[in-house]
Structure 1
Amino acid sequence: MDKNWMHVPNRFTSAEYSEGVNKLLIMARAHAPESTTFRCPCRRCRNNLFLPINEVEDHLFMNGIDPSYTHWIFHGEGESWSVNSSYSNDDGFDPTRNFVDDMDDMLEDTRAGTFMDHASVPHEAGPTSPPTGNDGQSKTFDQLFEDAKRPLYPSCEKFSKLSFIVKLLHIKTVGGWTIKSFNMVLELLKAAFLDIKTPTSYHEAQRLERGLGFNYVKIHACPNDCMLFWNNDADKEFCPKCNELRWESTSGKKGKIPQKVLRYFPLISRLQRLFMSKDIAKSMKWHREQRVDDHSTLRHLVDFKMWRQFDKDHSWFAQDARNLRLGLANDGFNLYNNLAKPYSIWPVILVPYNLPLWLCMKDPYLMLSLLIPGPKAQGNDIDVYLQPLVNELQELWVHGVDTYDASTKGQFRLHAALLWTINDFPAYANISG
């Protein structure tokens, strides 16, 4: 559908604009024939308000339509789309494969990003050579590819073995299932469907997460928040500052148990993974290539003066739209929601602000970076726990890392900058030192 009318400057006298508004309202009525109110897509309401159809029409002429609303998802445009309309043999779509998931495509991009040969292609180069990697990782990905191509059972057309397991693991996480209950579900599925291809246990299914690179690092910490037993101090048994023992127990069947453990989710690999999906990689350049450049309205942090000033001060960073601007949020909360158990835990979350305003604050893109243990707030000692994250941020700023871009099938040098923190005032005082 032609939408050039959305940018017509003289709305009141333009027959093109009037005809475009009429088509939009006809589509909206057909989309919700029994509704008396509709989302208003004008510049002011931006689909946040439900109004009678005549008021929506008035707003569209008085305020103009939101120019960024190019896909009319709230007014029925998506209903005429076919699930497979974008596929053709020229695009590499295999008509003999009917699985609705695109897990194999995702693995193709992930594999290319994981096994890319840094030495074979310079940073500015185009398409990469075939990815290389060690035999262990390659075998893991080969198994994942096989599972992505294998149907869940012989006549299944909706799920591959891999996509079903991934969805089942996701339900376990969202639903808070125990490992025992997850194993019981797997046993029930195997008993009910003899030909089903599922793992025999949670631990077997969990190997998929390791194969896809979802892991974290446990770093032992001084119980008094003095230091981390990490890097050059990884082999120490006592804290050199307070002389506190690293271990809670040094004997027994369980062996040594650390008194305090920081869980760190490595940042660089997670930022690189954002570019291993074609769609997400394209969205990472939204702030430069697709947003509406209107400084009179603040819709996203890219509209703020600080963003533009940062681009002026660091022009080398701004040259590549894929370089990441990050925000950091942290605060403590009572893990048990019970004042009788005064235990607080402190998550540190990173937000990639390159993404469009409707994505950057969504759950899938909020990256948990650190999980700092309690039982009490660290105060100014929180900087001890921020060391692994700060080290990676410094590497991303100064040196950058070679990263595979699935949207261009090539490599580039990824840099990142931490521009904002989100805190209440006590946490802001602590994190600022």
Structure 2
Amino acid sequence: MHNWDHTMNNLPVDMSELDDPGPTMSYHRMVHEAAGPTFVPDDMEELPNPDAQRFYDMIDSANQEVWPGCETHSKLSVVARLLHIMAEHHLSERCFDDICQYVNEMIPPDNVIPKNFYETKKLMRGMNMPVEKIHSCVNACMIYWGEDSELVNCKFCNHPRYKPTIQRSVSKKNLVPFKQMYYFPLTPRLQRMYAFKATASHMRWHTEHEVEEGVMRHCSDAPAWKHFDKMHPSFSEESRNVRLGLSTDGFQPFEQTGKQYSSWPIIVTPYNLPPWMCMKDPNLFLSVIVPGPKNP
């Protein structure tokens, strides 16, 4: 066990500075938000566990110059920008590798820019962005989770869970499911909303804002919200409890080129936030991706 009660006092960045929206602190803040509000060790002489070590590696990369004397970019800022470009322009891993190789040829040889996508991904693991793969019925009847996690056939249509294999004896971990969905854990992201003053105060806006009679500026002004508060007083009396909205719709990611394929992203929105924040992209949390063609 590794207790995290006072790490931030020993880190190279003053935590009070992280609420400053200035560009010099943006990557430090990104690392601390990824770590979460309780990520703080109490004994710096103790060897850090793997999670802590990944966190310290991220802090180091946020402070590390791309090459000696480069003051405009850090290792982390370059990696984050490259990944953003890759996602924005739908680049392949091979294309990303070629870009990294070309950049490394142009700048001083003692640089710290990753040589390929694998090295980049290895560094970004410290951002703690896990994904869970959950098997599902090929006919969208059910998911194999919880008390149904050990089933090998759908309990509704009886379709097999796994694709047939030629080998007689195959370990369970090597079996390939007909279909699976991807779940991105929500709890750590909600915890990070309270990790810093800038976002923590906005998470109480739904209770603290001024209400104008007869005007609905936010869903907290609606009769349904107020009815929920009356029905669940123990929940509503704590303004930091999170109210979530869930939405989903199917779309074809490869509509222009390639074969027809559909998927259903499930988006979760924290409605604690004010109206000018809750519908912005950074606060629309992609929680689940369900492969099509049927809706979840």
**TM-score between the two structures when normalised by the length of structure 2:** 0.79
User: How far apart are the structure 1 equivalents of 2:129 and 2:47?
Assistant: 18
More divergent stretch after superposition (319-328 vs 232-241) = 232-241
Deviation at 1:303, TM superposition (A): 1.9
- Root-mean-square deviation (Å): 3.1
Consecutive unaligned residues of structure 2, counting only runs of 5 or more, are 1-13, 168-173
Is the aligned partner of 1:179 residue 2:93? yes
Deviation at 1:362, TM superposition (A): 0.8
**Aligned 8 A contact 2:181 2:289 in 1:** yes
- Residues 204/340 of structure 1: CA separation in 2 closer, same or farther (3 Å cut): closer
Is the aligned partner of 1:168 residue 2:82? yes
AA of the residue aligned to 2:191: Q
User: How far apart are the structure 1 equivalents of 2:234 and 2:118?
Assistant: 46
2:213 aligned partner: 295
Q: Percent identity?
A: 35
- Residues 235/201 of structure 1: CA separation in 2 closer, same or farther (3 Å cut): farther
**Aligned 8 A contact 2:235 2:241 in 1:** yes
1:135 aligned partner: 49
If each structure's strand is expressed as a fraction of its own residues, which one has the higher value? 1
2:62 paired residue among 148, 153, 163: 148
1:326 paired residue among 219, 241, 244: 244
2:27 aligned partner: 103
**TM-score between the two structures when normalised by the length of structure 1:** 0.56
**Aligned 8 A contact 2:36 2:188 in 1:** no
Summarize deviations over 1:162-220 as a string: whole Å, max 9, x none. Answer: 12211221221122111111111111111101233211211221134421111211111
User: How far apart are the structure 1 equivalents of 2:236 and 2:195?
Assistant: 21
More divergent stretch after superposition (214-223 vs 311-320) = 311-320
User: How far apart are the structure 2 equivalents of 1:147 and 1:141?
Assistant: 10
**Aligned 8 A contact 2:33 2:192 in 1:** no
1:245 aligned partner: 160
Equivalent residue of 2:163, what SS?
A: strand
Equivalent residue of 1:328, what SS?
A: strand
Equivalent residue of 1:316, what SS?
A: helix
2:129 aligned partner: 214
- Residues 109/368 of structure 1: CA separation in 2 closer, same or farther (3 Å cut): closer
- Residues 326/191 of structure 1: CA separation in 2 closer, same or farther (3 Å cut): same
**Aligned 8 A contact 1:229 1:236 in 2:** yes
2:140 aligned partner: 225
Deviation at 1:340, TM superposition (A): 10
1:350 aligned partner: 268
1:370 paired residue among 284, 288, 293: 288
AA of the residue aligned to 1:283: H
**Aligned 8 A contact 1:285 1:355 in 2:** yes
Equivalent residue of 1:102, what SS?
A: helix
Equivalent residue of 1:369, what SS?
A: strand
- Residues 239/108 of structure 1: CA separation in 2 closer, same or farther (3 Å cut): closer
1:313 aligned partner: 231
- Rg (Cα) greater in structure: 1
1:267 aligned partner: 186
Summarize deviations over 1:131-167 as a string: whole Å, max 9, x none. Answer: 9997111111111111111122222222221122112
